[in-house]
Amino acid sequence: MGHCNTNCIRWALAWPLVCVIALSAALVDLAGAGDPRPLPNIVIIYADDMGYGDLGVQNPESKIPTPHLDRLATEGTRFTDAHSSSAICSPSRFGLLTGCYHWRRMHDIVRPFGQSVFRAGDVTLPAMLKTAGYRTACIGKWHLGWDWNAIKQPDAKPDPKTGYAADAFDWSRPVPDGPTAHGFDYYFGNDVPNFPPYSWFENDRVLVPPTEPVAPKGQPAEAGWDTWGGPMPKDWDFGAVVPKLTQETVDWIAEQRGKPGPFFLYLPQNSPHTPIVPAKEFRGRSQAGGFGDWVAQTDDNVGRILAALAENGFADNTLVIFSSDNGPESMAYKRIKNFCHRSSGPLRGVKRDLWEGGHRIPFLVRWPAHVKAGAVSDALVSQVDLMATLAAVVGAELPAGAAPDSYSLLDVWEKGAESPRHTIIHNTNPGGYAVRHDNWLLVAAKTGAVSKPPEWFNEEFGYGKNEFAGELYDLSQDLGEHRNLYGERADKVAELDSLLKQIRAKGQVR
């Protein structure tokens, strides 16, 4: 099929545990202070590899139906200039759960059987909410590491091709340093959908011991299996993972009915990340191939979760946030060619990139009677801001040193106020940074590409080679990043480069 012409101070120290005690003492009892509002339940739904343009309400030319997310957008506020901390998985999750830019501690994803990225004493979002009386749960993709050495056999070594064998670990023992060690009362998931061990986890246990090397059956609806070598239980079904996680979520919500106090539910989805395995009833649901059908199933899962909140009487006093960990995988380029669907919408770039398409993501907030329904905001916001914002929602004062890069967006949410954030630092790996300040973007590298775009895409959409040491764009006039002003605006390059260095050295700067 032919091409389509669419418009288409460095924070690295662990906080002492006394910070958590100080945080608890600093909490404000809203009801006792004369505010009659009960604390809201909080639900964060976090899609995996869903691009800015995969959300139907954000892309008039979308080939993917997302009716439940579109309805969520009309019931709350949709933010069009929202960003994940990174353009890849683990770092974005770290930023969301700590209020700290990932690059102050890490750049890469946590690899199979990798250690936890957290340190003793880190103040995380669930830990903060627990001190305010919240029950906390995480259901889905963790991807922030565990202490696998605690259950690994002393002499176990991975095979370079097939990874660890099933008998390399003592699966009868608890695995320390996972979600329940960092603020969550409950965890259920399979850690990472395409990483070993391919099994179900509950709290600190692997529920079904893996017994054999991974060997997926059949063929995904798009691309390959993208699995890393390692053990799985017999007959592990990759297509059953997302449906089970959704059902576990629905069941957990039902179990909260009648329990005292609020809950916090963090739902890092396994989709639409690879492997792309939409259920039979979703195949052909979209006009964007297997990935489009996978997004449609993700949307349906969101609908089931929202319905569960309503059916159990939680909808009116639940703050729901929907977002994604980064932009779409590089397969998005083929999707333009084959289906005329732009997963990044009008943005340049995909997952991993410093360009906007790598990290500008869907961001929806619904909170009845607090957040305006049907509103669209162009305020500059980051997922890193959720820590300070939710602390403000529950009346918590974060201890010194916690959430160093986080701004409270509560007035932005409730009053439509100007964002307190004017600057975001983008990064995927140690060798490349970009700084966004208001409508200006400086890529402090030869190129914003980490996932190299195909030549046909550059030719068709008017992207040439960069002749300068970096890239500079005025996004108010050039959202698609076509005109590099690096050679014309040395003053702006110097200003933004200085700001980048200042924030990297000191932390939050307005």
Q: How far apart are CA 231 and CA 219, in angstroms?
A: 19
pLDDT digits (tens, 9 = 90+) for 393-419: 999 989 889 999 999 999 999 999 999
Into how many domains does the chain fold? 1
Residue 437 lies in a domain: yes
In DSSP terms, 423 is beta-bridged to: 437
Spatial distance between the Cα atoms of 95 and 101, rounded to a whole number of angstroms: 5
pLDDT score for 507: 81
Cis status of the peptide bond prior to 160, with omega within 30 of 0: no
The predicted-structure confidence for 323-376, as pLDDT tens digits, reads as follows 999 999 999 999 999 999 999 999 999 999 999 999 999 999 999 999 999 999
Instruction: Examine residue 419 and state whether it is found in any structural domain, yes or no.
Output: yes
Q: Residue 331: which of 213, 457, 443 has the closest Cα? A: 457
Tell me whether residue 35 is in a domain: no
**Domain with 216 in it: what CATH number?**
3.40.720.10
Q: DSSP string covering 199-247, please?
A: S-EETTEESS---EE----S--SBS---PPS-EE-TT--GGGHHHHHHH
- The amino acid at residue 10 is R
Q: How many CB atoms lie within 10 A of CB 268?
A: 24
Residue 496 domain-assigned? yes
Nearest to 110 by CA among 160, 157, 145, 151: 145
Q: Is the pLDDT confidence value at 10 over 50?
A: no
Distance CA 415, CA 278 (A): 39
Residue with tokens 């770290």: 94
Share of the chain above pLDDT 70, in %: 93
Closest CA to 280 of 309, 340, 240, 339: 240
Confidence band of 478 (pLDDT split at 50, 70, 90):
very high
C-alpha 410/C-alpha 282 separation (Å) is 37
What pLDDT is recorded for position 32? 37
Beta bridge partners of 432: 429
pLDDT of 506 above 80:
yes
Quickly state the pLDDT bin for 121 (edges 50, 70, 90): confident
What is the reported pLDDT for 1? 39
pLDDT band at 157 (very low <50, low <70, confident <90, very high): very high
Residue 37, judged by CB atoms within 10 A of its CB (0-12, 13-18, 19+), counts as exposed
In this structure, how many other beta carbons lie within 10 angstroms of the beta carbon of residue 1?
7
Q: Which residue has the tokens 């009716």?
A: 67
According to the model, what pLDDT value does residue 19 have? 41
pLDDT of residue 352: 98
Say whether pTM exceeds 0.85. yes
Q: Beta partners for 365?
A: 77, 321
C-alpha–C-alpha distance, residues 190 and 202, integer Å: 9
Determine the Cα–Cα distance for residues 69 and 203; give it in Å rounded to an integer: 29
Residue 34 within a domain:
no
The predicted structure's pLDDT at residue 36: 53
First to last CA, the chain: 47
CA distance 117 to 92: 12
Residue 435 has pLDDT above 80, yes or no: yes
| pLDDT score recorded for residue 509 | 72
Q: Is 183 among the domain residues?
A: yes
Q: Specify the amino acid at residue 9.
A: I
Residue 472 and residue 355: Cα distance in Å, rounded? 11
Q: HSE-up of 88 (CA within 13 Å, CB side)? A: 19
Residue 283 included in any domain:
yes
Triad 277, 274, 147: Cα angle to 5°: 120
8 Å CB contact between 131 and 22: no
Q: What secondary structure, in 3-state letters, does 368-405 show?
A: CCCCCCCEEECCCEEHHHHHHHHHHHHCCCCCCCCCCC
Does the pLDDT at position 30 exceed 70? no
C-beta of residue 137 within 8 angstroms of C-beta of residue 441: no
Give the range of the structural domain holding residue 479, as residue numbers without chain letter.
43-506
Q: Is residue 5 in some structural domain?
A: no
103, 88, 99: which is closest to 10 by C-alpha?
103
Q: Within 13 Å of residue 424, how many CA atoms lie on the same side as its CB?
A: 32
Rounded CA gap, 183 and 239, in Å?
30
Kindly state the average pLDDT of the residues 66-81.
98
Residue 149 DSSP class: G
What are the pLDDT digits (tens) for 208-224? Answer: 999 999 999 999 999 99
Q: Is the pLDDT of residue 424 over 60?
A: yes
Contacts of 166 (CB under 8 A, 6+ apart): 209, 210, 211, 212, 213, 231
pLDDT digits (tens, 9 = 90+) for 256-281: 999 999 999 999 999 999 999 999 99
Q: Which residues contact 64 (CB under 8 A, 6 or more apart)?
A: 54, 56, 286, 287, 288, 292, 295, 296, 341
Bridge-based pairing of strands 41-47 and 82-83 is unpaired
| H-helix or E-strand spanning residue 428 | strand 423-429
